Structure 1
Amino acid sequence: MTPADPGRRPPAWLTAPWLMLLLPVLFSLLDAALVIGNSSWWENCLAVVAALALLLRRRKPVLALLLTLPGSFFVAIWLAPITAVYSVAALRPRVLVTVLCASAFALVEFFHWPLSDLLKAGGRDTALYAIQSVMLAAGPAALGLLSRTRRELATRLEELTRGQERESRLLAERVLISERGRLAREMHDVVSHQVSLISIQAGALQVSTSDPTAVATARTIRELSVRTLEELRQMVGVLRAAGVRRDVPLAPQPTLADLRRLIEESGLSAETECAPGDLPWPEAVERAAYRTVQEALTNITKHAPGADIHVRVVGRGGRLRVEVRNGPPPGPPAGTLPGGGHGLVGLRERAQLLGGTLTTGPTADGGFEVRADLPATPG
C-alpha cells in the first residue's frame, strides 16, 4: 500500500472536531478520579470544574486555565492545567500572556495545598519539586508555541504560494501582451503596406483613365482602401493597447443600417431583403449580422464572381435570420485570391457566443449558402 491509500487512513470519526474537544475533558476527569481519593466534596467539585473548563479552551483559553488552577492547588491534578497552558500558547498570539499563564501554573503547582508539606520538605526535595513545577508548565507552553508557529508558517507558505501563482499569471499575461503587440505591429506593417499600394494604384487609375466606369471603380477601391487602413489602425491600437490617440474617437461599429451601403460598395449585384423589424437588436447582434454578410460577399467575390446573389435579413420571433445565397458561378474565377480559411470559423464562433447558430453549405443548384440565426438576447 502507498501512503495515499485510503485503507491506511483512520476513520473519520476519530478526527471529528467534537471528539478532539471531548477527549481532553474525559482524560482530565480520569486524572481527577485517580487523585482525589478520600477528598472532601468541595475538592471533588474543584476537580470536576477544572476538567469541564477545558470545554472553553478553544474560545477562551485564559479563562479555562484560571478555572483549572483551584483544582490544581487543592487537589494536585495535572492534566487539566497542562492542557489549558498548551491551549493558551497555541491560540493566543502574545507570548507574554503565555509566559504569565505558565508561570501562574508553575507557582500553583509548587505552592500547592497544604502548604505544610512544602515546609516539611528538605532543601534538595524542594529544589527538585521546583524544577518539576517549571518543567510541567514550560513543556506544554513550548509545545503550544511550536504548534502556533507551525500553523502560522503554513499560512504564510500558502500565501506565498498564491502570490507566486499570481505573479506567474501576471508574467504570462505580460508576455502575451508583448507578443500580441509584436504581431500587431507586423500585421500593421504588412497589411497597411499592401493596402496602401492598392490605394495608390487606384488613385493613379482614377486620374489616368477616361472611362467613367473605371473611374467609379477606382474611386470605390480607393475609398475602401482608406477605410480599411483606418479600421486596421484602430484594431492594431486595441491589440497593442497603444497607438490610438485619446483625442481621436474610434469609428462607429457597423450596424444593420450599414448593410445596404456594404452591398453597394462591394460592386456586386444582389437582390436584397432587409426587414429586421422594430425590435431593438443588441449591438453585438447587429455587428454579427453585418460581419456575416460582409464575409459571405467576400467569399462570393473570390469563388463565384458574376453569380446571382440573394441577401435576406429578417427578424422573426425574437431572432434575426441572416441568409446570403449565391447561384452557381457562370465560369471559373479569373484568379485565386489568398485566404486563410478562418472567416467562416470566426463567424460561427461569434454566433455561438451570442447563443445563435451559423450553417454553411452548397445548395441544390450548385451555389452556396451562409445562414446565421441570432437571438435578440445574447446568451
Structure 2
Amino acid sequence: MNSRRWHGPLADAALVAVSLLDVWAHFDSTEPLRMACALVAAFSLLLRRRWPFFTFLLTMPAVLFSDAVFSALAALYTLSSHSRRRVLLAMCAVAFTISDLTSWPNPHLDLSEPSTLVTFGYTGGTAGAAVFLGQLVQTRRDLSLRIAEISEARDHERMLTDQTVLARERAQLAREMHDVVSHQVSLIAVRAGALQVGARDAEAREAAITIRRLSVQTLDELRHMVSVLRASGGRPTELTPQPSLADLRQLVDNSGIEAELHMDLPEGLSPPVQRAIYRTVQEALTNVRKHAPGADATVRMGTEGGAVQVTVTNSAPTRPALPLPSAHYGLIGLNQRAALLGGVVTSGPTPDGGYELSLRLPANSAV
C-alpha cells in the first residue's frame, strides 16, 4: 500500500529531473526566453496526472522556442494514457511535430529539402511513439480492470455454486433426519410409553419415564433442526434457546443417574461461558450413562484464581456397559469450545475405577 502511494510522486519527480537535464543539455545563457519556456515545461509535469491536456499545452512553448522537448513528449504520453479521443491525440502529435520542425521567432520550414523530410519523419515517429505507448498503457490498464472484474464475477459464481450445493446437501440431510432418525426416535418414545404403562416394577417404570421424556425432547430438537436445515437460502431461522446455568438443576435431575450438584459460581457470567459449562456437564453425564451403568456422579462448580472450575466425577460402574456406537466427537467438541474461550478440558480415570472430566475457563471469557 505504501509503495503504491509513493509510486506516482516518485515517477513525477523522476520525469521532472530528466526534463531539467534536457534543459541543462540545451542551456543557452543568451536566450533567456527559451530557457524560461523550457523550465516551465519541465515543472509543469507535476500537473500531468490531474490536468494532462493543460500540461501538454504548457510544454508546447518549449518545443517552439527551444530544443528541450522531453517534457512535451512526457506530457503527450500522459495525455495519451488518459484520453480515448483519438482525433485529439493525432492533432497533438501533429502539433508537436510541426512545432519541433520550426524555430521561433524565426521559423524556417522547407519541405523541398530531403533533410527536412527526414527530420519530419523522425519527429513524427517520436510523437507517434509517445502516443502509441500511452495508448498501450491505457489498454493494459483496461485489461487489468476487466480481468479483475472477470475474476470477481467468477468468485461470485463459485460462491453461488457452493451455496447451491450446500443447500442441496442440507435439504438431503433434513430429509434423512426426518425420514430415518425422527422415525426411530418416535418408535423409541412409543415403546417407552408402552413400557411405562405395562411395567410392574417401579424401577423399570421410572426408567421408561426417563427414556420417554428424553426421546420426546430429542424429537423436538430434531424437528427444529430439520426446520433450520430446510430454511437454507431463505429467511434466517431462530436457533433453539441456548441453555444457561439456570437449566443445570433440571439437567442433573433428569439425567437418569444418581447425581449431586454443588454450584458456587458468581453471577454475571457471560452467555458463552454458561453454555460451555452446561454442555460440559451434559456431555459428562451422558458419558456416565453410556459407559458407567449404575455409577453415581458429583458435579462441582466454583471459581479459583479468577477462573471457573467445573468438575464432573463418577464412581466405578456396577454393571457392564452396553456396546453403543461412539465417534468420540463429544470430547473433541468440548475441547474446541473451551479453546475458543481460552480454557482447557482435561479428563481421565480416577484411582477408584471411576472417571473425572474437568473444565477450566477464564471467568471473563466471551465470544
TM class by smaller structure:
0.7 to 0.9
| Other-structure match for 1:85 | 76
Distance in 1 between the 2:265 and 2:193 partners?
Answer: 37
Three-state SS of the structure 2 residue aligned to 1:358 is strand
| Other-structure match for 1:290 | 278
In the TM superposition, what whole-angstrom CA distance separates every residue of 1:162-221 from its partner, at most 9, and x where no partner exists? 332343344334323432442343244332122111111012222333445444432332
| Other-structure match for 2:149 | 159
Q: Give the % identical residues.
A: 44
Distance in 1 between the 2:332 and 2:55 partners?
Answer: 70
> Are positions 1:221 and 2:218 aligned together?
no
CA change 1:236–1:349 in 2 (3 A) is farther
| Other-structure match for 1:145 | 135
Distance in 2 between the 1:244 and 1:32 partners?
Answer: 69
Gaps of 5+ in 2: none
| Other-structure match for 2:288 | 300
Three-state SS of the structure 2 residue aligned to 1:266 is coil
Distance in 1 between the 2:324 and 2:18 partners?
Answer: 88
> Are positions 1:338 and 2:325 aligned together?
yes
| Other-structure match for 2:61 | 70
> In the alignment, which of 354, 359, 362 is matched to residue 372 of structure 1?
359
Distance in 2 between the 1:259 and 1:24 partners?
Answer: 75
| Other-structure match for 1:273 | 262
CA change 1:86–1:270 in 2 (3 A) is same
Three-state SS of the structure 2 residue aligned to 1:143 is helix
Q: If the length of structure 1 is used for normalisation, what is the TM-score?
A: 0.81
Does the aligned pair in 2 maintain the 1:348–1:357 contact within 8 Å? yes
Q: Structure 1 residues 38-47 or 306-315, which shifts more?
A: 38-47
CA change 1:255–1:77 in 2 (3 A) is closer
> In the alignment, residue 249 of structure 2 is paired with which amino acid?
R
Distance in 2 between the 1:204 and 1:18 partners?
Answer: 86
| Other-structure match for 1:310 | 298
Q: Structure 1 residues 162-171 or 196-205, which shifts more?
A: 162-171
| Other-structure match for 1:357 | 344
> In the alignment, residue 361 of structure 2 is paired with which amino acid?
L
Q: If the length of structure 2 is used for normalisation, what is the TM-score?
A: 0.83
Distance in 1 between the 2:271 and 2:134 partners?
Answer: 63
Three-state SS of the structure 1 residue aligned to 2:134 is helix
Measured after TM superposition, the shift of residue 376 of structure 1 is 2.9
CA change 1:363–1:106 in 2 (3 A) is same
Does the aligned pair in 2 maintain the 1:302–1:337 contact within 8 Å? yes
Measured after TM superposition, the shift of residue 241 of structure 1 is 3.1
Does the aligned pair in 2 maintain the 1:309–1:326 contact within 8 Å? yes
Superposed CA RMSD in Å reads: 3.4
Measured after TM superposition, the shift of residue 243 of structure 1 is 12
| Other-structure match for 2:224 | 234
| Other-structure match for 1:5 | none
Distance in 1 between the 2:234 and 2:92 partners?
Answer: 68
CA change 1:58–1:291 in 2 (3 A) is same
Counterparts of 1:95-114 in structure 2, within 5 Å, are 95=86, 97-109=88-100, 112-114=103-105
Distance in 2 between the 1:43 and 1:103 partners?
Answer: 21
CA change 1:165–1:243 in 2 (3 A) is closer
Distance in 2 between the 1:315 and 1:206 partners?
Answer: 42
CA change 1:205–1:249 in 2 (3 A) is farther
Gaps of 5+ in 1: 1-11
Does the aligned pair in 1 maintain the 2:252–2:260 contact within 8 Å? no
Measured after TM superposition, the shift of residue 144 of structure 1 is 0.9
Q: Structure 1 residues 141-150 or 68-77, which shifts more?
A: 68-77
Distance in 1 between the 2:133 and 2:309 partners?
Answer: 73
> In the alignment, residue 253 of structure 1 is paired with which amino acid?
Q
> In the alignment, residue 205 of structure 1 is paired with which amino acid?
L
> In the alignment, residue 192 of structure 2 is paired with which amino acid?
A
Measured after TM superposition, the shift of residue 230 of structure 1 is 0.5
